A and B are shown apart, each in its own frame.
Chain A
Amino acid sequence: MHPAKSVIYFTTASGAGYGLMVWLAVMGAFGFIPADRPFGIVGFGLAFFLIISGLLSSTGHLGRPERAWRALSQWRSSWLSREGVAAILAFGPTGLYALGWVVLGQNTGPVGLIGIAGALMCLITVYFTSMIYASLKAIPAWSNRWTSLGYLLMALMSGAVLILVLQTIMGIGNSMVALKASVVLIALAGLVKLMYWRSLRNSEPESTTESATGLGKFGQVRMIESPHDEDNYLLKEMGFQIARRHTQKLKRFALAFGFIVPLALVAMISALGMPYALILSVSALISGIVGLVTERWLFFAEAKHVVTLYYNR
């Protein structure tokens, strides 16, 4: 599939924003971070920036962005529509929680409960985003049981690293919780990504050129004349081939920068202590961004649409 920049930004940035929002809720509601006003402004500011810029970027690849509001209407059947509705509903409790923290200086008790409700809405939104892809049977690499788990864990992992960096920079609250959460989530997310790739390697393709043409009983089928000389919309959008040539290299790159390096750096923080914590956590964040963007690029670019069976691709 063609890896559109707008969709890569949308899924990674909004995922990280929702993940950060979840951690702001959990850390606040359970009293690990006090309702410090500057921390609230920076934390919620960053979370809302990532979420909103991600959602806006996802409308960037629409042919008719001015009609985007119509996408909210078909929530009874369409995951894309559900995602849009959930994203808007999530702004209610997360916005109230942010106000409670920043304006009232409260993040536990009733305000904390609103925060937890918001966190649940954020997770639901990320799950709906993942289902946009996981529900497409015509793209076997996506209609995979690891897809949704991967999206959820990678969102939570990005959020945990982000809140760790914020806590370290601003020196607010006990950062041990964020540190442990980061270690566990990076390891889990990396593991799920490995399982995802393993299942892609091991799965037999359900559809083949033989089943696509129904000519299998006459032998092995291949196209000998294309309907058109130049690439059409289908081949530009769904016949993307660059990634398949470099898959192994890119996978190793994504695995190293997205998971192994951040895991090592975060683990070192507890051993080396404060003077290094800042540089280590920021490096973990930068490495994680590079790795996760590569991972997401691969998620799109590597996925093969069954229509390519008609074209020998």
Chain B
Amino acid sequence: MTLLPQNPSKVKLGLVIDLDICVGCHACAVNCKEWNTSGKMAPLTDVDPYGAKPDGVWFNRVHTFEAVDEAAGTSRTVHFPRSCLHCDDAPCVTVCPTGASYKRDEDGIVLINTDICIGCKLCSWACPYGAREYDEDEGVMKKCTLCVDKIYNENLPPESRVPACVSTCPSGARSFGDLGDPDSDVSKLVAAREGYALMPEQGTKPVNRYLPPRPKKIGDEVAPRLLDHHDDSADGAGLLARWVDKILTV
């Protein structure tokens, strides 16, 4: 059913990604591929993986952006993981002609039933964020599942019941939780750090939030550029060192 949930629950599971912390290591993207290639939307097919033009399905892509303020003479480099935002008003769901795309009533996760998807690609055209990738080999669309097969998995220890990208992030840049509950840890984090949604003007009402990089520290705290005791000449050195220096400069 590609109508959006008529009686959505208050629970809105999603991710909060801290752009101040992310170091752009791609570990989240790799572990996402690792988990999901045998998960609900398996496989995440690769085409020509060892050839000249390798391609394949990934649910998470890490870009690096530069923001330049010419007037202030400042610039910032920001690593930016991009994946499905599990939008409240998901246009990818309502365009789907078959009912393969749907948004879950109970937690708002947006999924695809690949058994009935016809591979018309319309949902990938409707998503502004490039979150859906087509599996050429299977002829169906695939997307981030928010690790629905991990977060509720009772065979795993409770601390592992978070999406693969969250459990793997070495710097702790990714948080997972209920963004529909204003008292949850993730909601508090978003409030404290002024987390924001991507392309709000598209009207998709994303659930995921991004935390902006913190202001740069400029002034006394800047590290010195040169060390004071740096000495280019060999004059201050001992006899043996001067002798070696002479031989080597011949």
Contacts and interface: CB of A to CB of B under 8 A. Distances in A.
Interface of A: 1, 61-65, 67-68, 70-74, 76-81, 84, 132, 135-139, 206-207, 209, 211-228, 230-234, 237-238, 305-307, 310-311
Interface SS, A side: mixed
Given A230-B54, A305-B125, A224 B61 contact: no
Contact of A232 (B58, B63, B80, B138): B58
Interface string B133-147: 111101111000000
Contacts of A209: 65
A63 B61 contact: no
B95 interface: yes
Contacts of B68: 219-222
Interface in B211-237: 212-213
Given A215-B65, A238-B125, A137 B203 contact: yes
A227 B202 contact: no
A78 B94 contact: yes
A218 B76 contact: yes
Contact of A64 (B61, B69, B128, B139): B139
A211 B155 CA distance: 41
A225 B210 contact: no
B148 interface: no
B46 to A, nearest CB: 11
16 contacts: A78-B95, A136-B91, A206-B201, A211-B199, A211-B201, A212-B198, A213-B65, A213-B78, A215-B67, A220-B69, A221-B68, A223-B64, A227-B82, A307-B130, A310-B63, A311-B63
A232 B128 CA distance: 16
Interface centre among A64, A139, A209 (most CB of B within 10 A): A64
A89 to B, nearest CB: 16
A150 to B, nearest CB: 19
A307 B204 CA distance: 14
A84 B97 contact: yes
B66 interface: yes
Interface string B70-102: 101011111010100000000101111111100
Contacts of B164: none
B70 A219 contact: yes
Given A132-B122, A215-B67, A230-B54, A78 B2 contact: yes
Contacts of A307: 127-130
Nearest to B140: A63
A137 B202 contact: yes
Given A63-B134, A213-B198, A227-B29, A80 B140 contact: no
